Amino acid sequence: MMGVGTLIIFIAVILVAAVAAAVLISTTSNLQQRALVTGGQTEEGVSTGAEAVSVMGQDASTGHDIEQLEMLVRLQSGSESIKLNNTAVVLDTADTSQNLEYSGSDSSNSTHYGVSYVKRGINWLEGYMGRGDIVKLYMNTTNPVGENLKVRIRVIPRTGTATIVEFTTPDVMTDQRITLWP
């Protein structure tokens, strides 16, 4: 009798240990999957973004102020493609702040920025900035930007890091088209 009772208790302990091991393995697998997803999202958030190459200003009238800005951008090294519909451009000057959305073309106005592809990468796709693409962003200012004023442009993708370019306009602007940054 004593041997049968001990055998039953032994089998019960083995079953409880097997169930506990299965729960631990299942939990570990679930946590590993979550960690992989979180790691991928973190990597995308840190590495995705645009890199500013240059900023030009253009005067559409005969005054000494800038009415349109052109910013040349490309992807940062290791970045995933950026969907332009999910990318905002914020243009700050001393007296205004504009939140611009993608216009879907190369035309721009006071609420939308335009885009033209200077160079198309291997996997070029309209409305995206991909590896190898060099893109020109066109922005119209709400108020003309005069001489010796500070300007900040932020390109903000939905996921990833924002690109910030700050510059001060020249003391004297006599040309129709001038380089503002770098």
97-117 confidence digits (pLDDT tens): 999 999 988 888 989 999 999
Largest CA distance in the chain: 109
Q: Are strands 87-92 and 82-83 parallel, antiparallel or unpaired?
A: unpaired
Task: Provide the domain count of the chain.
Answer: 2
Separation between Cα atoms, residue 103 and residue 117, nearest integer Å: 14
| 90 plus 15 within the same structural domain | no
| 109 plus 176 within the same structural domain | yes
50 band by pLDDT with thresholds 50, 70 and 90:
very high
| 43 plus 59 within the same structural domain | no
Domain that holds residue 152: 49-181
140-173 confidence digits (pLDDT tens): 998 889 999 999 999 999 988 899 999 999 998 8
| 76 plus 125 within the same structural domain | yes
Separation between Cα atoms, residue 25 and residue 31, nearest integer Å: 10
Q: What is the pLDDT of residue 127?
A: 93
Residue percentage of the chain with pLDDT more than 90: 61
Separation between Cα atoms, residue 89 and residue 156, nearest integer Å: 6
